[in-house]
Amino acid sequence: MTTERVAVIGTGPAALMAAEVITGAGLGVDIYEAMPSAGRKVLMAGKSGLNISHTGSQKDFAAQYQDHDGRLRGCLKAFGPEAVVQWMDGLGMPAHTGPTGRIFPQSMKASPLLRAWLRRLQGRGARLHLKHRWAGWDAWGALVFTAPEGQVVIRPAATVFALGGGSWRRLGSDGEWTAPFAEAGIPVTRFRPSNCGFLVDWSDRMRDAFAGAPVKGVRLSAAGRETREELTITARGVESGGVYTLSAPLRDAIETEGSATLWLDLLPDLEASEIARRLAAAPAKQSLSNRLRKALNLTGVKAALLFECADRAALKQPEDAAKAIKALPMRLTGTAPLDEAISTAGGVAWDALDTNFMLTGKPGHFCAGEMIAWDAPTGGYLITACMATGRAAGAGVLAWLARERSGVSRQL
């Protein structure tokens, strides 16, 4: 079937923003989703509050991303946190900014926002096709879908791919689109876990006593970056919070060196000299555990981490113990499995896209969102960039169709 409508494949933030731009220009859009319902990954992300963006200067915001030749930064300049808040207001979903600068809908939930967004798109004439999995192109370049009624083949006026990365397979983000892209000669870089957990060779005591325990009130650092977020001990390592924020440099170090070091400051509000003074003032007859508890209130999982990761000999003298407390090395031996990562780095290579996010080898086909090879931490940065690239791809579709139709008019 040949249609003058535009196909958007996916129902995440990138796909829906592309559909919004295109329908806003009065063009028809067909939105295709492989799963039985729309937006499953964003709904999962919003279970504890949909962190949709983050405040901060444009420079600080852009610095959170691994960019390529400025194109992603350009998208974020055109559609950053302020634009996200304005867009939410227009959707009837006022924003709420938390104490750390994270931006949420006032309702905190993803489902009301997603429902309102889909209603607006459908009111503009967009059609949603569920259980339609894109399977590739046929010999004539048409899109092929597997659907409940069998194989569906369409040739739309243009196509936006927003198929996500390679994690959370059960929510539809399975990365299977990479096979037909590779067959078509489109450069795709391998997926790598991002915003992920890491493996640590815990002792049996650490694993048995503290798996699931949060570690609060710490400073984490790696590769010159640091954060005051917490982390969580797991049976096989660490995850959440600051671990996700620092996941990119930690992952890169593991890939190049075989392991990585996450540095913990267990008492970030005390100077090393004060820690040493308090320990030195404690009665020498007390055990180290008691001195840590009474002099520093260092107990539970924090004390366990100190004994687990520090050289025991370095804890005998107050000055050496203070150094260990302020810079405790945790050795990470690997990343958690790719499918468990919140997001993935890798995907369609930037060199495969023009400035309008169109595939250079396939005119009329555009890409947006996490399926492109960029990387960012959680905290609203991921969703904002997905929306920004979706907006850019949607605008690219409009510009390309205008040129194509202008060329046809001149020929006539």
Q: What is the pLDDT of residue 313?
A: 86
- Cβ partners under 8 Å of residue 34, min gap 6: 131, 132, 133, 134, 172
234-267 in b/e burial notation, b at 16+ Cβ within 10 A? bebbbbbbbbbbbbbebbbbbeeeeebbbbbbbb
CA-based max dimension of the chain? 97
Residue-wise burial string across 272-295, b where 16 or more C-beta atoms lie within 10 A, e elsewhere: beebbebbeebeeeeebeebbbeb
In whole angstroms, give the CA distance from residue 6 to residue 3.
8
Q: Which of 49, 35, 21, 20 is nearest to 116 (CA)?
A: 20
Where does residue 114 fall: left (phi above 0), alpha (psi -120 to 50 degrees), or beta otherwise?
Answer: alpha
Provide the 8-state DSSP code for 1: -
On the 0-12 / 13-18 / 19+ scale of CB atoms within 10 A, 172 is buried
Q: How many CB atoms lie within 10 A of CB 27?
A: 21
Asked if 254 contacts 243 with a C-beta cutoff of 8 angstroms, the reply is no
Determine the pLDDT at residue 408: 56
Please name the amino acid found at residue 284: A
Region at 185 (left for phi over 0; alpha for psi -120 to 50; beta for the rest): left
Q: What is the model's pTM? A: 0.92
Q: Where are the beta strands (DSSP E) in 228-315?
A: 231-233, 237-239, 260-265
**Is 279:319 a contact under the CB 8 Å cutoff?**
no
Strands 6-9 and 29-32: parallel
Report yes or no: 51 and 385 within 8 Å, Cβ to Cβ: no
pLDDT in tens, the chain (412 residues): 778 999 999 999 999 999 999 999 999 999 999 999 999 999 998 888 999 999 988 888 988 887 667 899 999 999 999 999 999 999 999 999 999 899 999 999 999 999 999 999 999 999 999 999 999 999 999 999 999 999 999 999 999 999 999 999 999 999 999 999 999 999 999 999 999 999 999 999 999 999 999 999 999 999 999 999 999 999 999 999 999 999 999 999 999 999 999 999 999 999 999 999 999 999 988 999 999 999 999 999 999 999 999 998 889 899 999 999 999 999 999 999 999 999 999 999 999 999 999 999 999 999 999 999 999 989 999 999 999 999 999 999 999 999 998 875 444 4
* Contact between 58 and 83 (Cβ < 8 Å): no
Name 146's bridge partners.
Answer: 133, 151
Residue 412, C-beta contacts closer than 8 angstroms, at least 6 positions apart: none
Name 30's bridge partners: 7, 127
Please name which of 165, 139, 135 lies closest in space to residue 152, comparing C-alpha atoms: 135
Dump the DSSP string for 96-152.
EE-TTSEEEETT--HHHHHHHHHHHHHHTT-EEE-S-EEEEE-TTS-EEEEETTEEE
Q: Sign of the CA dihedral 371, 377, 378, 384?
A: negative
